[in-house]
Structure 1
Amino acid sequence: MSDTPTVLITGASSGIGAVYADRFARRGHDLVMVARDAARMDALAAQLTSETGVSIDVVRADLSQSADVEAVEARLRDDARIGVLVNNAGVSASGRFDRQSSENVQTIFDVNAAAVLRLSHAAAGRFVREGRGAIVNIGSVVGLAPEFGQTVYGATKAFVLFLSQGMAVELGPKGVYVQAVLPAATATDIWNRAGADPSQLPPMMAVGEMVDAALVGFDRREAVTIPPLHDGAQWDAFQAARQAMLPGFGETTAAPRYKAAS
């Protein structure tokens, strides 16, 4: 792997993925851009190559399709130039949980959770053998907030956070850096694709501001980066409260509150 590794970015045709492509290209990294819209990636790749001189490969893949995921897995396993994976591709759907179609629910799971797991796993084996590499997983604050009412999407993002934290524990000592990025509402195409009512959308962070903040966290080697959270001590307190419970999980008798009164 080069000292300036190639970066593979999923969902690279627009939004967060396209901005990541721009920022890494301007840092001098060659790219592998992965998404469904090859035409948009071709246009962005031509622009970035012209402006930065980096080499860019475009891979058309639909990460809801297992065969396409397999092709990207193979690229991650076999291409020793790739040293950074950005799992950004994601989908959502509007509507209450009981009213969403089973097809939409499955697609959200396949793209947001299963593909992230498979691609992370494909990259991790080689990164561990090489003793270096980085995996960036784009989650969401929704994964911490069931109150937001995006049950399936939020559940997949909670999975991404746990997966990232678990990989960090296991792979960090092997030289692999893992970052979970948790944006809040960000001005991307995902809202239109999900069929959201524009009049009901919340205020949003600009995509460039979100990615630039995430890259500050990347450079600092943060495990979890939450660009919209101004009081970082709140996350520290959340983590401390969670970790304080760990000894209690080892108890072998039920808590008194769960025992019938005598």
Structure 2
Amino acid sequence: MSHLPAVLITGASSGIGAVYADRFAQRGHDLVLVARDKTRLDAIAARLRSSYGVAVDVRQADLTLQPDLASVEALLREDARIGILINNAGIAQSGDFLQQNGQRIEQLIALNVTAPTRLAAAMAPRLAQAGTGAIVNLGSVVGLAPELGMSVYGASKSFVLFLSQGLSLELGPKGVYVQAVLPAATRTEIWERSGVDVNTLPEVMEVDELVDAALIGFDRRELVTIPPLHVAERWDALNGARQGLLSDVRQAHAAERYRLPA
């Protein structure tokens, strides 16, 4: 039996989640794989058990459904073996804002916002008490760029980044590592499901390269890992500007430009 913490991965039946499963299994971690497609999960689990000799549990769940989400929450609260959570499950936006309806918006927020938040909240107290563990949240560079037009999706991924930064401040001093991973366009099934032909996109990263880069950031204990960002100083500059802005807005009075003339 492995002495390494077990890893629970959502959206593990394909794409980024499946590659995370492979990489952590290579490292000798036991796994809990969560997704809707049990047939795919079973096939991945069988391959990983055979290839790497790790224990792999499968949990079929649709995280937009309350009973399924509650079941995974209970597992994260109660199973002390699980020390790493990969919040990967998510869906993309199909069409612009005017093409969205209430059901689509609710589903996207349920999977991209509510599920990762509740799963992290279910696990965090146990990790904080143990003084160890990790939570990895898959965001997107779209969360930094309203210019890309995917307003609801981008807002959900902006939430994931903010949540990760906040959790890092709260949980880091207690020994819990939190990482936000911000991919750009990556070759996964999310595009097909949202009605986009990935081959029409100008720059697309392969999923293996994305996960391997994210894991280098994980090993370095980065708070924010942006695999396609070649000039790391750009993120440092953005974060520095934000810190400067914070010092400017801590004021008791409105700025001069917003004051009525005497």
TM-score by length of 2: 0.97
- Taking the aligned partners of 2:203 and 2:252, their CA distance within structure 1 comes to 48
Residue 260 of structure 1 deviates from its aligned partner by 2.5
The residue type equivalent to 1:194 in the other structure is: S
Measure the CA separation in 2 of the matches of 1:207 and 1:93.
20
Instruction: Provide the rounded CA distance (Å) in 1 between the counterparts of 2:3 and 2:160.
Output: 28
The farther-off stretch of 198-207 and 89-98 is: 198-207
Matched residue, 1:97: 97
Alignment of 1:30-69 (within 5 A): 30-69=30-69
Q: Contact 1:185 / 1:202 at 8 angstroms: preserved in 2? A: no
> Which amino acid counterpart does residue 188 of structure 2 have in structure 1?
T
Per-residue deviation, residues 111-135 of structure 1 (Å, max 9, x unmatched): 0000010000001010011111100
Question: How much does 1:249 deviate?
Answer: 2.4
Unaligned ranges ≥5, structure 2: none
| Paired AA for residue 43 in structure 1 | A
Greater shift after overlay, 93-102 or 65-74? 93-102
Aligned-CA RMSD value: 1.1
Unmatched 5+ stretches in structure 1:
none
Tell me how far apart the structure 1 counterparts of residues 82 and 188 of structure 2 sit (CA, whole Å). 26
Give the % identical residues: 61
Q: Determine the structure 1 residue equivalent to 2:188.
A: 188
Q: Which amino acid aligns with 2:9?
A: I
Helix, strand or coil at the partner of 1:253: coil
Q: Counterpart amino acid of 2:102?
A: S
8 Å CA contact 2:187, 2:198 repeated in 1:
no
Distance 1:187 1:197, change over 3 A: closer
Q: What is the SS of the residue equivalent to 2:135?
A: strand
Q: Secondary structure at 1:106's aligned position in 2?
A: helix
Q: 1:254 to 1:192 in 2, by over 3 A?
A: same
Q: Give the TM-score, by structure 1 length.
A: 0.97
What is aligned with 1:70?
70
Tell me the matched-pair count: 261
Tell me if structure 2 keeps the 8 A contact 1:64–1:107. Answer: yes
1:67 Cα deviation after fit = 1.0
